[in-house]
Amino acid sequence: MIKANNPNLKSWIEVPDKSDFPIQNIPFGVFSLKNEQLRCGTRIGDQVIDLAMLEAEGFFSDLLSVQVFNQSTLNAFMELGKEYWSAVRQRISELFSEDNPKIRDNEALRQYLIHDLQAIKMHLPVRIGDYTDFYSSREHATNVGIMFRDPDKALLPNWLHIPVAYHGRSSSIVVSGTDIHRPKGQLLPKDADKPVFGPSKLLDFELEMAFVLGKGNELGEPISIENAEDHIFGMVIFNDLSARDIQKWEYVPLGPFLGKNFGSVISPWIVPLEALEPFRTSGPMQEPEVLPYLKLEGENTFDIHLDVSLQPNKGIENQICTSNLKYLYWNMAQQLAHHTVNGCNMNSGDMCASGTISGPAPNEFGSMLELSWGGKNTITLNDGSERKFIHDDDTIIMRAWGERNGIRIGFGESRCKILATK
């Protein structure tokens, strides 16, 4: 049996050059045809495969004892656990490999099983019960600390000992292509001692990745660092929109609230952790040594390139920063182990975002706050216009991919247009 990650695999479905979705990827998502119900699917090249139909035709009957794909979310499938995720992914790989005729040579089946990307609509892939936002990039935390605190004490004393995080609002996480209105809230003008109410003037993006919980844990039962990745179904791109002026006024003493909960935008396809195995790498050295429950040897993160572009209204895309997942100081296993070490129970579909992923170079800063250095610097776009923060009708496009041995595994994109305040 040829494994699904084999770089030599080819599909009988055509895959364009530099596609994020070769047969080695096999992401999972939720889609619909026009005026039809939602169902689960996967993607090869620019073709979307109906997993509910595959299931109905009996292609998973020896693997799954219950039907999980004729649903509006992936939660039922994710709850089955890692063994089942892997088996289904392997079966899909076999069915769509170039030398397998079962579906390839059955034109009638292909016609209602496979759909062109342009003919379908993507939806939020999971029912997100809870959402946690970490703060795991040392470069980002240091930059923000320098801007707003004593540069010699940019990192707070706890930062190198625990993966810092806060619980956010899951209801406002939306799928790529959803427009977001500029938020309103309380703002404290410069040199003022009383706030005013109005639209945010310092709207920002945060370049993040998020992992999706597959199988949860019982209340009171921590997930160990060694077993943490067995609970992670896969990853998405995560654009955590931020109203910096609202946030600055409200975040002391309890942290982000209205400055963060108005919208976060994810890519529609969840890329399984298993598909990212070829891109494993080591993260930054952690010093001082972490406590035993957070200690994990080996390659515990992934070499995933990140890219952000800003597109003005009726204009062209402008790449404004790049970064890499491997820069994160705290990896996903450590985040999940810390999240549950007190007995916190996680559920299928819960989402944990990385926090802004910034690199060491100025062009690798993962937010407008850093790129403009708090508004002191100006970003000039191709059309000659300038930005310090996001303007109305700007579209933010985030992309992510790993590439090795001639195989590119990507996430598609997270795309969001900012509309004027309602």
Q: Which sequence positions are flagged as catalytic? A: 140
What DSSP character marks residue 400? E
Q: Are 238 and 209 in contact (CB under 8 A)?
A: yes
Burial class (CB in 10 A: 0-12, 13-18, 19+), 303: middle
Half-sphere exposure of 56 (CA within 13 A, CB side): 13
**Chain centroid to CA 401: how far?**
11
Cα–Cα distance measured from residue 331 to residue 322, given in angstroms and rounded to the nearest whole number: 19
Q: What is the CA 168 to chain-centroid distance, rounded?
A: 15
Q: CB atoms < 10 A from the CB of 357, how many?
A: 29
From CA 208, how far away is CA 266, in angstroms rounded? 9
**Cα angle, residue 163 at apex, residues 160 and 167 outer, rounded to 5°:** 145
Q: Which helix (H) or strand (E) holds 51?
A: helix 51-56
- C-alpha angle 230-235-237 in degrees, rounded to nearest 5: 165
288: preceding bond cis by omega (within 30 degrees)? yes
How far apart (Å, rounded) are the C-alpha atoms in residues 360 and 346? 33
Rounded CA gap, 176 and 198, in Å? Answer: 27
According to DSSP, the β-strands at 280-281 and 207-213 are: unpaired
CA-based nearest residue to 209, from 235, 234, 228: 235
Q: Are strands 242-243 and 232-240 parallel, antiparallel or unpaired?
A: unpaired
Q: Name residue 185's beta-bridge partners.
A: 198
Q: In angstroms, what CA-CA distances link 234 with 213, 271, 274, 352, 373?
A: 8, 5, 8, 11, 33
